[in-house]
Structure 1
């Protein structure tokens, strides 16, 4: 008996070791499972062969992803390059138009302070601005380097597409091979757990996509109305920081609004604050409904798992945290985990 447990432990450890090197294959398998419903529908409804159904669904998936990805990446890359060219002068312009006049006004109201103190404060602020300038230039250089890494990504993406096509063709055989090693009772539990996890996993991705698209649309429309530059790039940035439970849209919009007001651009500053309020209120109204409908777990459980996962292991915890809650809830529904006690 112990040999079986040792063998199973070795397999599990080996799988975890290989996961970082097999991400394209893993994503291909997950995508194939998501597309399997469409493939089965074509086979049953229109009497397609397995090969015809897989080719049809695979082609439609690739075309949709290519069109969407092309326009989105093209827009973001163009705005990133333009922004990287203007970054070296951005901070200094901000200092000249906003911070320096503020210092002058403060000097006017602080005439009683010694001149040396005022000069020290100004030098400290200038050094801070220079540091921020260097940081932003480095950040934009990293973004440009990320863009230059596209060829390597394309190779990984090609492997992903080939694996997706082959796994979609072989999925019924893989399923039959797995069933051959399972007892009937174990098979029922595995299918119950797999169906629950599949439903919850799709629901989690669906919830994130819905909320991200909604945030992107509101940010893009709002920034366009305000006449802000780089609307697509900034809207994407807002979506990214909004996913993080520690940050949120306020970490981008509120400082930006303050700087705009300091630069005497009251219209943009107030508009950004209103946009922040609108995005926050709309998300808080819709978020509980989206999570409860898509995930099947309470919004509180989703929020706590996101926060704790992020605090423990960083960005990866945003996915792993809710996944653990979903797996626990699924195993509980399948009576694999039983919690029945009284204190």
Structure 2
């Protein structure tokens, strides 16, 4: 190959690399601003999900009642009079738009769906308020008694006695000077923990103050969720008719409707599944910790439920230390009870997880963990939940619109040009 040919080939490769770099930069900017936009639209997403669930509940109850009536009644349907049928045809408006499944069909369904929607909101708000009040009460008690817990010597003496007894059983395996050094080091650790109590209490109080400062934003988001859900129920057909009139591309409109339906099913399973598993884990852990007389059971159960959502750590990351703590305290039965609680919760989760999530999440645990880490880096602690949700949305959009195939073709073409 001559030098001009090599120069042309190198120029083509460089131009291709520049083009793909520009595409990657533009895609990165779109993803970044898209993530920000998704968080802004998240209250509308929650409102739409609750509205759709309310409508589906009403439709399901209506269909169930209708089927029960059909089974219990063997009478034939009354044939309508010809004049009545003709008058109905004249007065009934013609359906020019084929509305998608999941919209309220009549005023009665809209009213019933609105009532169900209000009941769902009241249930969720009551549960959240009750949990927050209970946790705040135990945080106050913990902040008051935390110095006493760390300043006591019973826990330290038990650890030293266990180590001393273990050394005696091994025939004085640990020399006395090492035991004294260990006791001194444990005392220093205890003092450092005691000094950090004030910092911990201050951090908790600052967190509560920050949350109180963000209450107007939280209330505004709740109002947006409530109002958007109501309008999705009351004016769903009007909204769809507006989109049908302004989006002229039928293929794009059908793909968008398919995407919305698919995202609703997946997000409902993912968000509802995470929420249901969180509530079940919290309730089971709270009841179990009360049975084994674990102090501050509400806060501990909350930590257990949050850590249990993580894809790799799981419930063992919290229940095993609790069992060890109980064993050190001399509560052997309580330690065994903590392990039993861990096994019961693990068994129940393994049994109900496939039913709850179904095929909604085709995500590897590593991908879920990476999405959580990115979510925490971008959105803070709320990214633990937002990360997997955004990953599900991105995966569905890429798959439905064939973006993954386009990316594979681009990458394959670039590699082919570079290998020539």
TM-score, with normalisation over the residues of structure 2?
Answer: 0.65
Residues 1:96 and 1:33: Cα distance change in structure 2 (over 3 Å): same
Whole-angstrom distance in 2 between the partners of 1:267 and 1:312: 41
Whole-angstrom distance in 2 between the partners of 1:9 and 1:184: 26
Q: What is the DSSP-based 3-state SS (H/G/I as helix, E as strand, rest coil) of the residue aligned with 1:204? A: helix
Q: Bigger shift: 235-244 or 320-329?
A: 320-329
Match of residue 249 from structure 2: 183
Displacement after TM superposition at 1:202 (Å): 0.8
Displacement after TM superposition at 1:223 (Å): 1.6
Deviation per CA, 1:104-151, whole angstroms, max 9, x where unpaired? 435655487363x44332222222233344445533432333233343
Whole-angstrom distance in 2 between the partners of 1:139 and 1:246: 27
Deviation per CA, 1:79-104, whole angstroms, max 9, x where unpaired? 11112211112234353352232344
Displacement after TM superposition at 1:286 (Å): 2.7
Match of residue 82 from structure 1: 141
Q: Bigger shift: 315-324 or 148-157?
A: 315-324
Q: What is the DSSP-based 3-state SS (H/G/I as helix, E as strand, rest coil) of the residue aligned with 1:149? A: helix
| Map 1:169-318 → 2, pairs under 5 A | 171=232, 172=236, 175-179=240-244, 180-292=246-358, 295=360, 297-298=361-362, 301-311=363-373, 314=376, 316=383
Larger radius of gyration: 2
Match of 2:155 among 69, 88, 95: 95
Aligned residues of 1:204 and 1:291 also touching (Cα < 8 A): yes
Residues 1:112 and 1:170: Cα distance change in structure 2 (over 3 Å): closer
Q: May I ask how many residue pairs the two structures share in their alignment?
A: 325
Residues 1:252 and 1:190: Cα distance change in structure 2 (over 3 Å): same
Residues 1:226 and 1:103: Cα distance change in structure 2 (over 3 Å): same
Structure 1 portions without partners, runs of 5+? none
Match of residue 17 from structure 2: none
Aligned residues of 1:91 and 1:132 also touching (Cα < 8 A): yes
Match of residue 105 from structure 2: 44
Structure 2 portions without partners, runs of 5+? 1-22, 60-103, 410-420
State the Cα RMSD in Å: 3.7
Whole-angstrom distance in 1 between the partners of 2:155 and 2:302: 26
Whole-angstrom distance in 1 between the partners of 2:399 and 2:117: 35
Aligned residues of 2:167 and 2:174 also touching (Cα < 8 A): no
Deviation per CA, 1:222-279, whole angstroms, max 9, x where unpaired? 2222222322222111101101123222222111211211221111111111211222
TM-score, with normalisation over the residues of structure 1?
Answer: 0.77
Match of residue 69 from structure 1: 128
